[in-house]
Homo-oligomer: A and B are copies of this chain.
Amino acid sequence: MKLDDAAAHLEALGNPTRLKIYRTLIRAGGAGMPVGRLQDKLKIAPSTLSHHIKALVVVGLVTQVREATTLVCHANYSVMRELVDFLVAECCTESAAPPDAKTAA
């Protein structure tokens, strides 16, 4: 994952409301959760909720599947895993230096 992509993902998660949305979807498991149920659970105005969900969708952290009149949201585990991998590989230890670095200890 490129740094700019990682930053975009981090920014999407870097808002308490969106992080709550995302965590709720993770806890919903593979079945996901419709937008309306998220709205009931989190008590957010529909337009505001839609706005935040969209922010998560555009970076790929959440996907949506229509089921009749409801839109079911799913957390995308693999994107989150890529993000965590980026953080661990590039931002967690001194071994985060690139292989060609002349600064290796």
Chain A contacts to B: CB under 8 angstroms: 3-4, 6-16, 18-20, 22-23, 26-30, 75, 77, 80-81, 83-84, 87-88, 90-94, 96-98, 101, 103, 105
Tell me the smallest distance from the CB of A15 to a CB of chain B, in Å. Answer: 6
Q: For residue A11, which residue of chain B has the nearest CB?
A: B14
Tell me the smallest distance from the CB of A16 to a CB of chain B, in Å. Answer: 4
Copies in the complex: 2
Report which of B11, B15, B80 forms a contact with A91, defined as CB distance below 8 A.
Answer: B80
Tell me the smallest distance from the CB of A93 to a CB of chain B, in Å. Answer: 7
B84 and A87 contact, CB distance less than 8 A: yes
B11 and A15 contact, CB distance less than 8 A: yes
A3-B26 contact given A80-B91, A84-B84, CB 8 Å threshold: no
